[in-house]
């Protein structure tokens, strides 16, 4: 009997140690997968059809990158895009507190070498040495937009790019008013570049054809049962990907909204079910027929 009890106890201990080892292996494997996803270097190519797009902009290509944080932009992947994209849009969180200025300078120099580049602030840009970071961004030749419009010209036609600055004090109510756009008497297409799509929840109307945003990281680590790191209910609907939203400007039209999962990570370099991404967006003239 004693030997049998001893054998049973040993069997239980072996089973426990096997279970513990299996749990440890699963944890290590999961962590490895999350790290790999956090450092993926993928470009998503997609077409965006806009009815108001000037015919001269049909085929206009935008490299859209947001939420770089402290990652190094991949030169081997991006350098071949020089001359193949017409503009570079940077959607904020270009850096973060503790990131080396040399890393930011290297990233901005690469982005500016590909095509005319435009950027907006994100929340982490205001947690860093903002004055130094802004000097680096502007010194690289990138146009930093702070609640302003700029015309982009292509094939003797133009569209309007509006850059909305992230409020220094944070919060969705701290944004400046949307800059007035040109009169509808002069047909135009308008793109809004804003870091946090939550900006939309504070707008009664959005006079835009395309809105590009980031900030959400697509949840970064997407938990089961619909749990997410963002508390505001807005993000349960608008988290990552392409959406159509009503403009509410009396036109009856809708705007396209793209929320990128971003290239970098916030806090820990981990991603689960939301891999890092950049975008090459080809604008297409949508037929009204």
Checking 171-176 for CB contacts under 8 A at 24+ apart, the result is: 172/196, 172/198, 172/199, 172/201, 172/202, 172/232, 173/202, 175/199, 175/202, 176/147
Write down the pLDDT at residue 115: 98
243 pLDDT more than 80: yes
173 pLDDT more than 90: no
184 pLDDT more than 60: no
180 pLDDT more than 80: yes
By the 8 A CB rule, do 26 and 256 touch? no
Give dist(CA 257, CA 190) in Å, integer.
12
Q: Name the pLDDT band for 73 (thresholds 50, 70, 90).
A: very high
269 pLDDT more than 60: yes
Q: Name the pLDDT band for 35 (thresholds 50, 70, 90).
A: low
What's the mean pLDDT in 30-58? Answer: 84
Give dist(CA 189, CA 50) in Å, integer.
8
Helix (H, G, I), strand (E, B) or coil at 56: helix
Query: Which comes out higher in pLDDT, residue 154 or 181?
Result: 154
Give dist(CA 63, CA 241) in Å, integer.
16
Lowest mean pLDDT, pick from 73-82, 231-240, 250-259: 231-240
Residue partners of 161: CB distance under 8 A and separation at least 6: 89, 118, 145, 149, 150, 151, 152, 190, 191, 192, 193
Residues of the chain above pLDDT 70, percent: 83
Query: What confidence tens digit (pLDDT) does each residue in 157-171 have?
Result: 999 999 999 998 777
């Amino acid at each position: 009997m004693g030997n049998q009890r001893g054998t049973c106890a040993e069997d239980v201990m072996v089973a426990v140690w096997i279970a513990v080892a299996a749990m440890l292996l699963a944890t290590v494997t999961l962590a490895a997968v999350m790290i790999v996803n956090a450092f993926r270097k993928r470009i998503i190519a997609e077409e965006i059809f806009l009815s108001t797009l000037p015919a001269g902009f049909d085929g206009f290509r935008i490299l859209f990158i947001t939420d770089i944080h402290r990652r190094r932009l991949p030169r081997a992947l991006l350098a071949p895009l020089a001359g193949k994209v017409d503009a570079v849009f940077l959607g904020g969180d270009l850096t973060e507190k503790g990131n080396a200025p040399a890393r930011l300078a290297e990233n901005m120099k690469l982005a500016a070498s590909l095509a005319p580049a435009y950027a907006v602030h994100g929340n982490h840009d205001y947690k860093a040495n903002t004055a130094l970071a802004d000097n680096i961004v502007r010194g690289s030749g990138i146009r930093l937009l702070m609640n302003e419009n700029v015309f982009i010209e292509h094939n003797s036609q133009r569209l309007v790019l509006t850059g909305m600055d992230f409020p220094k004090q944070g919060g969705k109510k701290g944004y400046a008013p949307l800059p007035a756009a040109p009169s509808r008497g002069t047909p135009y297409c308008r793109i809004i570049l804003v870091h946090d799509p939550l900006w939309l929840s504070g707008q009664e109307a959005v006079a835009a054809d395309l809105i590009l945003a980031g900030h959400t990281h697509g949840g970064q680590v997407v938990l089961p049962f619909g749990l997410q790191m963002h508390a505001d209910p807005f993000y349960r609907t608008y988290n990552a990907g392409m959406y159509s939203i009503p403009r509410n400007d009396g036109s009856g039209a809708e705007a396209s909204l793209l929320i990128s999962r971003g290239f970098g990570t916030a806090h820990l370099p981990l991603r689960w079910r939301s891999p890092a991404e950049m975008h090459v967006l080809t604008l297409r003239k949508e037929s009204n027929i």
